[in-house]
Chain A
Amino acid sequence: MTVQLHAHARAFPIGGPIVEVHDISLNFGGVKALTKISFDVREHEVRAIIGPNGAGKSSMLNVINGVYRPQAGSIVLRGERLAAMTPRRAAHMGIARTFQNIALFKGMTVLDNIMAGSNLRMHANFLEVAFRLPRALREARECREAAEEIIEFLEIEHIRKTPVGRLPYGLQKRVELGRALAATPQVLLLDEPMAGMNIEEKQDMCRFILDVNDHYGTTVILIEHDMGVVMDISDRVVVLDYGKKIGDGTPEEVRSNQDVIDAYLGVAH
């Protein structure tokens, strides 16, 4: 795969830290999912979290997103220290995500699913919507416009009116990305966006992730299994193994890190 983007000047230059996690520890009973993890994510960068199965990658994402509450440590979002994040608060603060196993409304159309993603920006109350009062109509129109822009961006015009449940897996993943984008997030969390895809679908998805980052300046934090994909599209990579951070740096640095090589290839005992 040859995706050259960062060789060029970026429209949104990488800024200061937007998300910082400090000494996060998370236990499930006696199982230590995460142990004293610290790293930062800078504004407008593509940050990957990688690691073997069970390394704690999804747990890490769930902590950032407020689904899990860590026993120790804190999250700093745009300079603001938060002891505990909740999913709703995360959404309000501009964090959107996609899920490892697709979480869409299967019976609804692609368009409706994407429009559902901008739910937080709608302020009209039940009665305004029921009686089609001006604010409700205006919001509905803006919401549709935003959704159409995303549909065009992700090149899914042909399935606009198709119920999501009837779509193949690769397209459902793309719709899920669209739903997350509809929230106009500043930080986008992607949980294994390429899992289970064939090579062509992976290439498409890579392109879309880079385009989102490039076009909207969205900061992307992604979890990925496929090392090749990660190395091609991320600016910096965090490597987790058994809940501990074993590497952090640019793809080149990580690739030559002995601990990372050991974790992926195993060590002779």
Chain B
Amino acid sequence: MAPQELQADTFPKLLMHQARTRGDRPAVREKSRGIWQTLTWRDLADETVALAAGLAERGLQRGGHVALIGDNRPRLYAALCATQWLGAVAVPLYQDASAAELLDPMRNAEITHIFAEDQEQVDKLLEILPQLPAVTTIIYDQDRGMRHYRQPQLVSHADLLTQGRALLAARRDALDAEAALGRGSDPAALFFTAGTTGQAKAVVLSHGALINRARTAAAMENLRDTDVTMAYLPPAWIGQHMFGYAQPMVVGFCVCCPESPETMLADMREIGPTYFVAPPKVLESLLAQVSVRMEDAGRIKRSLYQYFMALARRVGVPLLSGQAVPLGDRLVYRLGDMLMYGPLRDVLGMSRVRLAYTAGEAIGPDLLLYFRALGVNLKQLYGATETGIFVCVQPDGEVKPDSVGTATDGVELKFTAQRELLVRSPGLFSGYHGDADATRLAIDADGWFHTGDAGWLGDDGQLRIIDRVQDVGALADGSLFAPKYLENKLKFFPFVKEAVAIGAGRDEVCMVVSIDAGAVGNWADRHNIAYSGYADLASRDEVQVLIADCVGKMNAELAQDPALASLQVHRFLLLHKELEADDGELTRTGKLRRVVIGERYQALVDALYARRDSVRIDAQVRYEDGRQGTISADLKICRAPTFAAAPLPMPTRKAA
């Protein structure tokens, strides 16, 4: 690494370095009007400094906070860095949050300037603007529909840029001095935690912490400036920020923004990224799409798929890890690569993927192995917003489905008596914004961050995460109960969208399941089952038998392992709706909010354990436009086949 690069301790300095050393290489690409438009590092730096001039003119000061609401696009990256150029803190927010949901974070972070993508975001902001007296400027990117807005706070991104460029000649030196003032210990960005438990907290990360983590992981994975990645996840998620902003700034590789969320898959096929990051949810939906399409395929293709997937799981997985595989198997795998794996990787846009991470949530082992079997080097990593993501990464050649890898450089791990994982690393956050008490609770006097995750370190030095400390419980008979493990296992079936396992303190495990409308709908079409909508589909007897079959298969697998046999799911019910972030049941990154779900569906849980046949539910739902409504439905409680624990060879049905 060049010494200059090592000196760069803030993102604006890194940007200047990249503009100097690889000014003509692409920094950001965006598909616009059907054509990929490229912004080089020099273009990006020029735009950033002009924007910084405009922001300074608009009164942005060192230490101020700037909110950014909108999709990944070149202008977002320029806005991020322009904010940091002036020593202000960037606060990316979730673009699909409602006006009410935006209010608290904005107030908490004392926002003064806002970058909003379009009219939709501006409308939300204007709704809450009376409660945000500190906000002086709202910069909107797309001017469509904005012609009639007369609020004095509003200014278009293009106008601000023009204004900034005009000021640049006179202010260039002052601006460069401003950027040089930045220190690694300065706060760079503020992220709101996923908030699976209670209120979201504002995590402050310094330039130094983010750059340290980005650099460590890039060196470990040997990332180069010729790598290409896709930016399609919400910019408010620390992961997207790390992989789409921090790492490209450090390494100098190119980030590609899809045309719209709907075109993501097609755009990814065109770009062919070499570095790809996806939360398990995205991988699940990719797998579901493949499964659904294979169900529709002809018999020859279907049997080819089944044969080669079985082979891939047996041969491809060890092959990717560099283990010895018999020559015959290797040759057949090569044939499979020509006939099936290659084309399938191409359909998924993963032909060139050299390194893929899954992050944000624990991934089911089956899902991880599916992609690895295809020859995609998908690895798990472990981290949190507070740790600047990278705590552990699965090293190449040692990917074990049940572990999240070894500690990355600079990270120390230890455990409390309750198995809670503590982390100490140069990438730790500086504190929760405006909440010193919470900071003291999270980071102890010796600098250890309490993750709230329960886990243990294996003999191989790899970390295993069980679940959240507070979610890990025990069944009435004392056997360990980790709900996430079961949920991920069931979610491997394409028909299952979400699942919630219940069992702590109970004698048996039960589940609340929501079906995948696409996959089950397709299945229903093929079986001539007519239905009117989601609720109707979920209440069909045939669908319940279908899901019972999935649960039964999962139970059969659980029964193989004496330690897990008692976790078999005895009863389940199918929800009349999908779990939704808009209803507060999931976080914006798609994690279950167990407390909310537990309260809302208490009646269902009671009915499951009262062994009733059906239960009536009146649920509050919130529509996209903010209106409230009630849905009532009768939900049937279904029994799943359970099996005696191994080593009994014959599955025997137990009376449930």
Q: Which residues of A approach B to under 8 Å, CB–CB?
A: 5, 8-9, 11, 144-145, 148-149, 151-153, 155, 157-158, 160-161, 211, 214-215
Is the beta-carbon distance between B33 and A151 smaller than 8 angstroms?
Answer: yes
Q: Assess the A148–B34 pair: CB atoms within 8 A.
A: yes
**CA separation between A214 and B150, bound complex, in Å?**
16
Tally A-B pairs: CB < 8 A.
Answer: 36
Q: Given the complex, which residues of A lie within 8 Å of B260, measured CB to CB?
A: 155, 157-158
Verify B145–A211 contact, CB threshold 8 A: yes
- Nearest CB in chain B: distance from A12 CB, A: 10
- Apart from A144-B34, A152-B33, A215-B144, what are 11 other A-B pairs with CB-CB below 8 Å? A5-B148, A151-B33, A155-B260, A157-B34, A158-B260, A158-B263, A160-B34, A161-B266, A211-B144, A211-B145, A214-B145
Which residue of the partner chain A has the closest CB to B262? Answer: A158
Name which residue of chain A comes closest to B33, CB basis. Answer: A148
Q: How far is the CA of A218 from the CA of B35 in the complex (A)?
A: 27
How distant is the Cα of A214 from the Cα of B144 in the complex, in angstroms?
10
- The contact sample of 20 A-B pairs, CB cut-off 8 A, is A8-B147, A8-B148, A8-B150, A9-B148, A144-B34, A149-B33, A151-B34, A153-B144, A157-B259, A157-B262, A157-B263, A158-B259, A158-B260, A158-B262, A158-B263, A211-B144, A211-B145, A214-B145, A214-B147, A215-B144
Complex Cα gap A152–B148 (Å): 21
CA distance A145 to B145 in the complex (A): 21
**Bound-complex Cα distance A156 to B104 (A):** 34
A205 to chain B, nearest CB (A): 15
What chain A residues lie within 8 Å of B34 (beta carbons)? 144, 148, 151, 157, 160
Question: What is the predominant secondary structure among interface residues of chain B facing chain A?
Answer: loop
Tell me, in angstroms, the Cα distance from A211 to B143 when the chains sit together: 12
Using Cβ atoms and an 8 Å threshold, which residues of chain A touch B148?
Answer: 5, 8-9, 11
Which chain A residue shows the least CB distance to B624? A200
Cβ–Cβ < 8 Å partners of B35 in chain A = 148
Binding site for A on B (CB under 8 A): 32-35, 144-145, 147-148, 150, 259-260, 262-263, 266
Q: B147 — which chain A residues lie within 8 A by C-beta?
A: 8, 11, 214
**Is the beta-carbon distance between B263 and A145 smaller than 8 angstroms?**
no
Residues on B with beta carbons closer than 8 Å to the beta carbon of A158: 259-260, 262-263, 266
Residue of A nearest to B145 (CB): A211
**B-side contacts of A8, CB under 8 Å:** 147-148, 150
Q: Which residues of B contact A148 (CB under 8 A)?
A: 33-35
Could you say which residues of chain A place their CB within 8 Å of the CB of B32? 152
Contacts of B266 in A (CB 8 A): 158, 161
Q: Say yes or no: A145-B33 contact (C-beta < 8 A), given A157-B260, A158-B260.
A: yes
Q: Within 8 Å CB of B150, what residues of A?
A: 8
- Docked Cα-Cα span, A157 to B150, in Å, equals 30
| B148 CB, nearest partner CB in chain A, Å | 3
CB distance from B421 to the nearest CB of A (A): 41
Q: How far is the CA of A211 from the CA of B34 in the complex (A)?
A: 21
Q: Which residues of A contact B262 (CB under 8 A)?
A: 157-158
Q: Closest chain B residue to A159 by CB distance?
A: B262
Chain B residues, Cβ within 8 Å of A5: 148
Q: Please give, as numbers and ranges, the residues of chain B lying within 8 Å of A215 by CB-CB distance.
A: 144
Chain A residue numbers with a CB within 8 Å of B263 are: 157-158
Which of A149, A158, A215: most chain B Cβ within 10 A? A158
Query: What residue of chain B has the Cβ atom nearest to residue A153's Cβ?
Result: B144
Nearest chain A CB to B517 CB, angstrom units = 15
- Which residue of B has the minimal Cβ distance to A200? B624
Q: How far is the CA of A158 from the CA of B268 in the complex (A)?
A: 13
A87–B32 alpha-carbon span in the complex (Å): 35
> A99 to B144, alpha carbons, bound, how many Å?
27
Once bound together, how far apart are the Cα atoms of A39 and B144, in whole Å? 32
A70 → chain B closest CB, angstroms? 39
- A224 to B507 alpha-carbon distance, docked (Å): 61
Report the Cα distance A149→B32, complex, angstroms: 10
Residues on the B chain within 8 Å of A149, using CB: 33
For B145, the chain A residues whose CB sits under 8 A away are 211, 214
Q: Which chain B residue shows the least CB distance to A144?
A: B34
Closest A residue, CB atoms, query B149: A8
**Complex Cα gap A5–B147 (Å):** 10
8 closest A-B pairs by CB = A8-B148, A158-B262, A148-B33, A158-B263, A157-B259, A148-B34, A157-B260, A11-B147
Separation of A5 and B149 alpha carbons in the complex (Å): 11
Report the minimal beta-carbon distance from A180 to chain B, rounded to whole angstroms: 19
User: How far apart are the CA atoms of A198 and B144 in the complex, in Å?
Assistant: 25
- CA A158 – CA B263 in complex, angstroms? 5
- Residues on the B chain within 8 Å of A160, using CB: 34
B residues within 8 A CB of A211?
144-145
Contacts of A161 in B (CB 8 A): 266
Q: Which residues from chain B contact A214 at a C-beta distance below 8 Å?
A: 145, 147
The residue among B34, B147, B259, B260 with the most chain A CB atoms within 10 A of its own CB is: B34
Q: Which residue of B lies closest to A148 (CB)?
A: B33
